[in-house]
């Protein structure tokens, strides 16, 4: 198959388009013919060099495609079925995996990080991470979903326990994770305040459902939050920036509120 690989760390010039051998289909795996693979900030971090990355390496975490072949032990999938791949690699037999805490598995990593990813034509994955694509989604749309929606869902739903009627401050509402968070918060009938760095991004955040926008370069986040919430503060701060916004995040919370990072 054709693949884009890196043989050394660096800028875009280290990407090489080349022929590599097809991945072998094990009896407990499905072979996916990749039709779309989204770009992600993780690609940049890995390409510049992260500990544990073995070279040569195939980048790409967000994969959508159709099943090319199905291993002998696999049931419930068939060739030509459209699937997206939840970009998680885990052992599937340790105590953490058995408890449904795959992200705490000692072998856990993201496809494209410590294991090869989707910037290629074929990938063999366990059926546990293949998810059928609904008819209404094209491959490119489906490929935009996995990593950012997994992250945002885990933060808002699993960790912060979002509930109807709460107010959520989404930092970086123009980012991939932020735009996913806006849509998930609206799905839970929450009130959303989104921040972004320019008016175009704020307009797109509003189009996704954000009720209020804050330009974080022109306005002070915590002051605007206090004004919008009638001095109450928000129930949840969706924090994925870090040091630059930490203090404003803390000041935007209501007493007993939750900051999730
Ligand atoms: Zn495990």
Q: Cα of 244 to ligand 1 centre, how many Å?
A: 34
Q: Cα of 240 to ligand 1 centre, how many Å?
A: 26
pLDDT for the residue numbered 167? 98
What is the C-alpha to C-alpha distance for residues 172 and 194, in angstroms, rounded to an integer?
A: 7
Q: Cα of 110 to ligand 1 centre, how many Å?
A: 13
What is the C-alpha to C-alpha distance for residues 220 and 242, in angstroms, rounded to an integer?
A: 16
Tokens of 145: 């979903």
* Lookup result for tokens 């994925």: 240
> How far from 14 is each of 2, 9, 53, 156, CA to CA, in Å?
16, 7, 15, 36
| Helix, strand, coil shares, percent, the chain, to 5 | 30, 30, 40
Q: Cα of 184 to ligand 1 centre, how many Å?
A: 28
What residues contact 194, with CB distance under 8 A and at least 6 apart?
169, 170, 173, 178, 182, 202, 205, 206, 210, 212, 213, 214
pLDDT for the residue numbered 224? 97
Closest C-alpha to 143, from 151, 131, 152, 153: 131
Burial of 107 (0-12, 13-18, 19+ CB in 10 A): middle
Residues measured by CB to lie within 5 Å of ligand 1, the ion: 90-91, 94, 97, 105
Q: Reduced to 3 states, what is the DSSP secondary structure of residue 73? A: coil
Closest C-alpha to 2, from 130, 90, 123, 128: 123
Tokens of 41: 């900030």
Q: Cα of 234 to ligand 1 centre, how many Å?
A: 36
pLDDT in tens, the chain (261 residues): 999 999 999 999 999 999 999 999 999 999 999 999 999 889 999 999 999 999 999 999 999 999 999 999 999 999 999 999 999 999 889 999 999 888 899 999 999 999 999 999 999 999 999 999 999 999 999 999 999 999 999 999 999 999 999 999 999 999 999 999 999 999 999 999 999 999 999 999 999 999 999 999 999 999 999 999 999 999 999 999 889 899 999 999 999 999 999
Tokens of 32: 């996916």
Contact call for residues 257 and 235 (beta carbons, < 8 A): yes
Q: Cα of 247 to ligand 1 centre, how many Å?
A: 36
pLDDT for the residue numbered 103? 87
Alpha helices, H only, the chain: 41-48, 95-98, 139-143, 146-153, 176-187, 199-207, 221-228, 243-252
CA contacts within 13 A on the Cβ side of 196: 23
DSSP type of residue 173: T
What is the C-alpha to C-alpha distance for residues 31 and 25, in angstroms, rounded to an integer?
A: 6
- Residue 62: how many CB atoms within 10 A of its CB? 30
Q: Cα of 129 to ligand 1 centre, how many Å?
A: 14
Helix axes 221-228, 243-252, angle to 10 degrees: 20
Q: Reduced to 3 states, what is the DSSP secondary structure of residue 206? A: helix
């Amino acid at each position: 198959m054709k693949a884009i690989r890196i043989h050394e760390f660096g800028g875009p010039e280290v990407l090489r388009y080349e022929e590599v051998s097809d991945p072998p289909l094990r009896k407990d795996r499905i072979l996916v013919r990749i039709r779309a693979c989204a770009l992600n900030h993780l690609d940049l971090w890995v390409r510049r060099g992260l500990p544990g990355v073995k070279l040569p390496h195939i980048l790409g975490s967000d994969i959508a495609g159709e099943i090319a072949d199905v291993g002998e032990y696999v049931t419930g999938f068939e060739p030509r079925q459209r699937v997206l791949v939840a970009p998680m690699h885990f052992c599937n037999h340790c105590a953490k995996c058995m408890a449904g805490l795959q992200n705490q598995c000692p072998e856990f990593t993201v496809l494209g990080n410590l294991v090869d990813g989707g910037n290629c034509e074929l990938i063999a994955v366990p059926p546990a991470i293949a998810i059928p694509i609904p008819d209404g989604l094209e491959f490119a749309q489906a490929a935009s979903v996995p990593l950012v929606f997994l992250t945002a869902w885990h933060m808002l739903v699993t960790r912060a326990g979002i509930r109807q009627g709460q107010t959520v401050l989404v930092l970086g509402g123009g980012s991939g994770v932020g735009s996913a968070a806006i849509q998930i918060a609206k799905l839970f009938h929450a009130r959303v305040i989104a921040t972004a760095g320019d008016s175009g991004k704020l307009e797109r955040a509003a189009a996704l459902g954000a009720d209020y926008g804050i330009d974080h370069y022109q306005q002070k986040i915590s002051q605007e939050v206090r004004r919008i919430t009638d001095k109450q503060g928000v129930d949840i701060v969706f924090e994925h920036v870090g040091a630059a916004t930490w203090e404003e995040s803390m000041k935007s919370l209501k007493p007993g509120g939750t900051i999730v990072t």
